[in-house]
Structure 1
């Protein structure tokens, strides 16, 4: 496509009804070209094939400029900014997020720094339930084995110290089907209830991080309701902007998602949804300020003198995504289709396979790395990742899959596939990024490279 050709066209400022953030009375004709996309992300390292949007996201230049304007406005007159302008602007962002996720009421939506902060809020509340005698020693928290490390550490810091126990549900990888995940999760819940114990909290990933797969979250929430789980928390760090999010339909008590991963916000900002029936149940921000006791949303919107600009650019971000055909829904679908296509191309070129069915990929996909490279440990995988970055200009995470007892694993033409690459696709990516990765791996294979060669 030539620079002056239209890359995407949008005729209205919205997708589905609950994703329409513009005035219904005003329909805006707008477009974005390929050259404009390149301009928005011109600050990216031009020498790097950046196919790792999943880790830190990407912020367009126009949003960086908007953030800078808020920062300068604060520095120009901080008293006026904090006392008269900050709260209305945070509320404006919360209202837009409410529509984006289809929440019932804006009081259910708080803005926090990141998913880790929201996890701390919920787990600290659970620890108080133990310490104050409402939960009993030995009551259980259930998580998936692929839960983010910060979540596992937070459980250790808050729940286990307070007397709770943890049941870890194994999610087999590569993934065969969503039904298999649900059935394993149900068995884990029932194991946690053995001996008369009660499940006080279940933490479910909507999109697992490493390995990456879209989890059948709605069905797993339903299992929790059927089995009498007290609280259901959905860790959806990678969800918003990458998969469809409808918190009413999902039905969890708590749902949290980073806005800086797939929704183009600058770091760090996350939405924290708390179902209306749970709002008054004593949740508090871990940083106590003068707003303590005024509700989680207000507590979260003021935690002392800091930079709140990443929370304020939500209107500008939604304006940006609505420059694309179909808005965020259109971006999400095109990213999914593109990453599945590129993953298939890589797997075919290397004689490997994907880590899950295509319909369980978000805007990321797991692709087997040729076994001939001899990746025999996580340390090998991390060294190879650095080698790809430093020698070939390819930035991509590598996941070393350690076989558990009884697992057979997946083989390519040379042996057992031990490692998978997690590739991402965002609007700034081109086919050349993935061809660069393909060719780098092919060159290593042709040169009979093995990870043992890396010091």
Structure 2
């Protein structure tokens, strides 16, 4: 186990303590953002400060200047340095448990490919089950279908309530799905569990669900924490899953795209392979992932500079996460009060994202309406925010069917949220409905 704390990098590396960031520094770091847009959607694509972009460009130019030297002398040591930082950030036992990949979807492909081979080798039997949350990321859900269903596995979706009132609701529904998965003598071979669901966004009690899976004999557990690192604390050892992935570019300021895949040391983990086969095949997943052919690896190499950047903030990364959470909750409550609606989850189940109910009179009746309204807010009010469509439950009177997913990152200011507040209030006051967008 690494004992260094990346939030105190200056003390462990002998470098001078980073200069505290000022408001003007912060504006300069994100001056490349479109100043006309209220960007409250960090959750989709993340953000990258100017100093990190400069570090990325230095790596790109070094490679282009002398590719052979860079490949033989710089690339692998730089990737190893990033892996060691990730090891410390997530409390992994060994650096060999950490591989760097393009994104969480790639990590899912690695895990699902491994599971598929178990069906083909008859270690798993046709009809054995894989469990996945109904609110799992779309690409991951389709990956489960593409790998597991085609190999003969049975996929069970855990249907979660939304709005959600408490963690216990999630635990209850997950327990029901586990019992269903084991019915008729079937075995559950894989559970795919989000740490923070994407749409709608809710923090999932992963440690509790992992324990339930272990108690019920689930073979393998994969945590999709795409939104997690830089958003909530991750302790891979404490969570206890076999696999854990998170994107470095969403909330940890890396350029797109970069992610890690944690694989708990076991006999099985040695048989994991990257879907792209290169001449590193057979040298372990970390090495296979470190070279998948000629491409731009620079997003994976700037983590040292990222840690220097976050250490300029009070409290380092933990301080950033705390303030982002407090601010997104404050802004969400402000919007709820202004619109007369409700939160999609209690504050303790929000991280740096929150679901805010939109006035029902807007007439959001389907996913297409949500997309059209999002486009309307972007083009007419210069607000960028995703909107989630929630199908009404039978018997509901005047239900809230649209929820804005707001994010808060260090570059956001309260005026961004006021613009969203006022845009929606204006739509309501003018009698707008989504039906008008189809005309």
TM class by smaller structure: over 0.9
Q: Does 1:238 align with 2:227?
A: yes
Partner SS for 1:318: helix
Residue among 329, 338, 357 paired with 2:318: 329
Deviation at 1:20, TM superposition (A): 4.0
Give distance in 2, aligned partners of 1:228 and 1:167: 16
Deviation at 1:276, TM superposition (A): 1.2
The match for 1:201 is 190
Give distance in 2, aligned partners of 1:237 and 1:187: 25
Deviation at 1:328, TM superposition (A): 0.6
Deviation at 1:137, TM superposition (A): 0.5
Give distance in 1, aligned partners of 2:404 and 2:165: 18
Structure 2 gaps, min length 5 = none
Q: Matches of residues 68-83 of structure 1 in structure 2 within 5 Å?
A: 68-83=57-72
Structure 1 gaps, min length 5 = 1-14
Give distance in 2, aligned partners of 1:103 and 1:18: 13
RMSD of the TM alignment (CA)?
Answer: 1.5
What does the per-residue CA deviation read over 1:136-162, in whole Å, with 9 as the maximum and x for residues that have no partner?
000000011001111111111111111
The match for 1:437 is 420
Give distance in 2, aligned partners of 1:354 and 1:256: 28
Deviation at 1:84, TM superposition (A): 1.5
Give distance in 2, aligned partners of 1:25 and 1:159: 45
Partner SS for 1:257: strand
Partner SS for 2:21: strand
The match for 1:8 is none
Distance 1:255-1:21 versus aligned 2 partners, 3 A rule: farther
Give distance in 2, aligned partners of 1:16 and 1:175: 38
Deviation at 1:179, TM superposition (A): 1.1
The match for 2:175 is 186
Contact 1:242/1:332 (<8 A) preserved: yes
Partner SS for 1:30: coil
Residue among 245, 258, 262 paired with 1:269: 258
Deviation at 1:25, TM superposition (A): 6.9
Distance 1:189-1:256 versus aligned 2 partners, 3 A rule: same
Give distance in 2, aligned partners of 1:99 and 1:403: 44
Distance 1:301-1:108 versus aligned 2 partners, 3 A rule: same
Q: Matches of residues 300-449 of structure 1 in structure 2 within 5 Å?
A: 300-404=289-393, 415-449=398-432
The match for 1:24 is 12
Distance 1:86-1:279 versus aligned 2 partners, 3 A rule: farther
Give distance in 2, aligned partners of 1:165 and 1:69: 48
Deviation at 1:30, TM superposition (A): 2.2
Give distance in 1, aligned partners of 2:163 and 2:116: 34
Give distance in 2, aligned partners of 1:448 and 1:327: 46
The match for 1:10 is none
TM-score (norm: length of structure 1): 0.93
Deviation at 1:46, TM superposition (A): 0.5
The match for 1:225 is 214
Contact 2:6/2:307 (<8 A) preserved: no
The match for 1:166 is 155
Q: Does 1:450 align with 2:433?
A: yes
Deviation at 1:22, TM superposition (A): 4.1
Partner SS for 1:277: coil
What does the per-residue CA deviation read over 1:8-43, in whole Å, with 9 as the maximum and x for residues that have no partner?
xxxxxxx99475444437461521111111100001
Give distance in 1, aligned partners of 2:357 and 2:171: 24
Partner SS for 2:266: helix
Distance 1:252-1:18 versus aligned 2 partners, 3 A rule: farther
